[in-house]
Structure 1
Amino acid sequence: MQLNTIKPADGAKKARRRVGRGIGSGLGKTAGRGHKGQKSRAGGYHKVGFEGGQMPLQRRLPKRGFKSQSLKYNGEVSLTDLQHLDQDEVDLVMLKAAGLVGQMIKHVKVIKSGELSRKVVLKGIGATAGAKAAIEAAGGALA
């Protein structure tokens, strides 16, 4: 195989449509645009979502609900997750390495869910009031 023998697969390249080239082509005269009207004119079309003056769908529907984009950067870890870790000092990098939070997460908070019976020191990680009390009761701390 040489570079000068390479060609696309059969049927991969389709000849472009040549419009306005006579009656025999099947796309002569009006060039497949029909007769008259906005869509037959050069430069005559409407913006996306325009429904001919009828109230557009995006304006007819009620506005409700909102999902903050900052949620995809915040993560949660439970006390049970901390219990199963084999490290005593826990930080964001370690949680990502353990697969407890996603790689895009920037802020983590420990929530009081489950039990913690061993000493854990949190570095750069927040905790709810209940989780903080449980960590301190087990001999751990928030650094």
Structure 2
Amino acid sequence: MELNNIQPSVGSVKDKKRVGRGPGSGRGGTSTRGHKGAKSRSGYKNKIGFEGGQMPLQRRLPKFGFKNINRVEYKAINIGDLDTLAAAKGLEKVTLDDLRAAGFISRKQLVKILANGTITRAIAVEANAFSEAAQKAIEAAGGSIAKV
């Protein structure tokens, strides 16, 4: 094989469809565009969402809902998870960096501690927010909380 005798695979290359070249070509007359109408004319461009004059979907459906731009999104972490993390790593203080290192949160996520599970050891917990029940549970176990 050399560069001068390379050919594409059979059937992989098709000839360009030449339209509007007279009746003998089989594609003269309407040039494969059908008869009349906007789609047959030059300069036709369909607008996004146009449904041929029918009321478009985005105008038929009502607007609803509300997106609060001041909403603060927290990643919820339970005290049971904190207890297992502290037991596994031997920690007395659990910080946001410890949670990141353990894969609980990503770099920019805010953390809220919730009261699901049980806590058996005195842990100093650092987070952005705490539920009341979680705060009571941590302090009942002899730990402390710190809001960051």
> Same fold by TM (over 0.5)?
yes
Instruction: Give CA deviations for 1:53-86 in whole Å, capped at 9, x if unaligned.
Output: 2221122223344677998x63110111111103
Match of 1:83 in 2: 83
Match of 1:58 in 2: 58
Sequence identity percentage? 48
- How many residues matched? 141
For the structure 1 residues 24 and 140, does the alpha-carbon distance in structure 2 shift closer, same or farther, using more than 3 Å as the test? Answer: farther
Matched, 1:122 2:121: no
Contact 2:93 2:124 in 1 (8 A): yes
Matched, 1:108 2:102: no
Match of 2:74 in 1: 74
Counterpart of 1:89, as a letter, is: K
For the structure 1 residues 136 and 9, does the alpha-carbon distance in structure 2 shift closer, same or farther, using more than 3 Å as the test? Answer: farther
Give the alignment's TM-score, normalised by structure 2.
0.68
Q: Which runs of 5+ in 1 are unaligned?
A: none
- The secondary structure found in structure 2 opposite 1:136 is helix
Q: Which runs of 5+ in 2 are unaligned?
A: none
Counterpart of 2:100, as a letter, is: K
Match of 2:35 in 1: 35
Instruction: Give CA deviations for 1:70-120 in whole Å, capped at 9, x if unaligned.
Output: 98x63110111111103333233432332334x375111111112112122
Moved more, 60-69 or 108-117: 60-69
User: Deviation of residue 13 (structure 1)?
Assistant: 5.6
Match of 1:132 in 2: 135
Higher Cα Rg: structure 1 or 2? Answer: 2
CA distance in 2, matches of 1:66, 1:16: 52
Q: Pairwise CA RMSD of aligned residues? A: 3.7
CA distance in 2, matches of 1:61, 1:39: 28
Which residues in structure 2 correspond to 1:18-33 (within 5 Å)? 18-33=18-33
Contact 2:100 2:107 in 1 (8 A): no
- The secondary structure found in structure 2 opposite 1:123 is strand
Contact 2:94 2:125 in 1 (8 A): yes
CA distance in 1, matches of 2:96, 2:26: 66
Moved more, 125-134 or 24-33: 24-33
CA distance in 2, matches of 1:121, 1:6: 73
- The secondary structure found in structure 2 opposite 1:58 is helix
CA distance in 2, matches of 1:127, 1:134: 11
